[in-house]
Chains A and B, each alone.
Chain A
Amino acid sequence: MIAGAAVIVLVIGTLAVVAATAGGLSALGPWDWRAVRFTLWQAALSATLSALLAVPVARALARRRFAGRGLLITLLGAPFILPVIVAIMGLIAVFGRNGLVNAALAPLGLGPVSIYGWQGVILAHVFFNLPLAVRMVLHGWQAIPAERFRLAQSLGFTPADTARHLERPMLREVLPGAWLAVFLVCLTSFAVALALGGGPRATTIELAIYQAFRFDFDMGKAATLGLIQVGLCLVALLLSRRATVTAGFGAGLDRDLPLPAPPGWRRGADTAAILLAAAFLLVPMSFVILQGAPRIPALPDAVWSAAARSVVMALISAALTLTLALALALSVAEGRSWVEAAGMLPIVASPLVLGTGLFLLLRNVASAPQMALPVTVIINAVMALPFALRILIPAARTLRADYGRLADSLGMRGMARLRLLTLPRLSGPLGFAGGLSAALAMGDLGVITLFADSRNPTLPLQLYQLMNSYRMADAAACAVVLMAISFALFWIFDKGGRLHAAL
Chain B
Amino acid sequence: MRYPALALLTGALTAATPVLAAGPEFTVYAPDYFASEWGPGPKIEAGFEKICGCDLVLVTGDVLPRILLEGDRTKADVVIGLNTDVTLRARESGLFAPHGQDLSGLTMPVTWTDDTFLPFNWSEIAFIYDANRLKNPPATFQDLLDAPDDLKILIQDPRSSVSGLAMLLWVKSVYGDKALEAWQKLRPKVLTVTPGWSESYGMFTDGEADMVLSFTTSPAYHIGAEQDTSKRAAIFPEGHYFMAELAARLKSSDQPELAEKFMEYVLSPDFQGMIAEANWSYPSKLARDQLPAYFAALDRPERTIFLSETEAEALRKPALEEWLSVFAQ
Contact = CB atoms under 8 A, between A and B. Distances in A.
Task: Please tell me whether chains A and B touch each other in their complex, using a CB distance cut-off of 8 A.
Answer: yes
Interface of A: 21, 31, 34, 85, 88-89, 92-93, 96-98, 116-117, 120, 190-191, 194-201, 203, 207, 210-211, 213-215, 217, 300, 302, 305-306, 308-309, 311-313, 316, 356, 359-360, 363-364, 367-369, 373, 448-457, 461-462, 464-472, 475
B16 A305 contact: yes
21 contacts: A92-B208, A194-B157, A198-B193, A200-B193, A200-B323, A207-B195, A210-B160, A210-B195, A213-B65, A217-B64, A302-B36, A308-B12, A311-B12, A312-B13, A449-B32, A450-B61, A454-B60, A455-B17, A456-B14, A465-B38, A475-B202
B79 interface: no
Chain A contact residues: helix, strand, loop or mixed: helix
Nearest to A18: B69
B137 to A, nearest CB: 18
B201 A367 contact: no
A102 to B, nearest CB: 11
A461 B32 contact: yes
Interface in B57-98: 57-62, 64-66, 68-70, 73, 75, 89
B208 A98 contact: yes
Contact of A468 (B15, B32, B192, B225): B32
B3 to A, nearest CB: 14
A369 B57 contact: yes
Given A194-B157, A450-B61, A470-B221, A200 B324 contact: yes
B198 interface: yes
A476 B38 CA distance: 16
B198 A468 contact: yes
Given A194-B195, A199-B327, A461-B32, A98 B206 contact: yes
Given A96-B206, A98-B208, A470-B221, A197 B193 contact: yes
Given A194-B160, A455-B18, A470 B324 contact: no
Contact of A194 (B69, B194, B201): B194
A451 B61 contact: yes
Contacts of A360: 69
A359 B68 CA distance: 12
Contacts of B64: 217
B16 A309 contact: yes
B317 to A, nearest CB: 10
A452 B206 contact: no
B54 to A, nearest CB: 16
Contact of B65 (A92, A217, A466): A217
A101 to B, nearest CB: 13
Contact of A215 (B17, B38, B160, B203): B160
Contacts of B70: 363
Contact of B66 (A207, A450, A465): A450
Nearest to A457: B35
Given A199-B192, A308-B15, A313-B13, A467 B198 contact: yes
